[in-house]
Structure 1
């Protein structure tokens, strides 16, 4: 009886080994059988798609309250008067690197309305059609603003000018402020 058990165990082990090695054919390009659906490829939704199971049927989810992206520093000033106290960490730094970065972002985002030299929107095609013309950045009024006030207008907007916080990265806004000061004749 014992030899029959040993023999049957040997036959079972041999048949398992043969079936295992016969299934491992080299060069077989068949894909795996997916036992659990949607584990290898999850269904993807685009942000503006309709999602029946989501709140408001929108596929785009709102981040949980109180969360913020890594490296993001919230802007603490709510009005231009309070923002006047905001200190420019690059104050007086008119190096080639600071002005080069400031020039880049000013030219892309500001010059279309304020002019290439900060002279206002009178000479610019976009500003010519505006009912309320953009201010001249080289005027005595803007020269009298603190760096914090200029930074605040770039970040939060003012009047008909919308906020540029989403367009000009936080780390480059002070360089734009320094470039505006350079246009005003400081740091030459």
Structure 2
């Protein structure tokens, strides 16, 4: 008889991350992941198509939250406001309690070239869908593509900062700061944060 337990998928995810980090992604099998928490390999495959899917599951939800931010933005919003709304929506998927898991996942992906390529493809898909959503909101090209790709760059930079061991700020705070830094760079302005840091350095 199959024993179904609540949170099985989450337990498999946590076990996989731990084994990928300690043994290496290539050296870890689906059977070992399942066995490490007292489950069968068959149970693993009921929840994930393969071990790679553990790291990339939830792509639909991830994409959906970016698009929801655009859809929910005011009708008067311009390109910058639209992608800012998209990033704020994305931040809700990264509460502080997920920080350690995301940090572990990022380290596993960074250590494997094939996984890194898959991650880049995932973000490219989001950028393409986001640019499409911007066009539907009346943003012309090339502004739609530029805004979407810039938003994904902001997101990637913020995530890299968020998972640093010494980082305490929330994902939302980091996304806002990184967006402001990009706007300042593009406009030639100097943000209050960078001005303060320069004065402190002196």
Q: Compute the TM-score of the two structures, normalised by the length of structure 1.
A: 0.25
Bigger fraction of residues in helix: 2
Structure with greater contact order relative to length (CA < 8 Å, sep ≥ 6): 1
Which is higher, the Rg of structure 1 or of structure 2?
1
Q: Compute the TM-score of the two structures, normalised by the length of structure 2.
A: 0.24
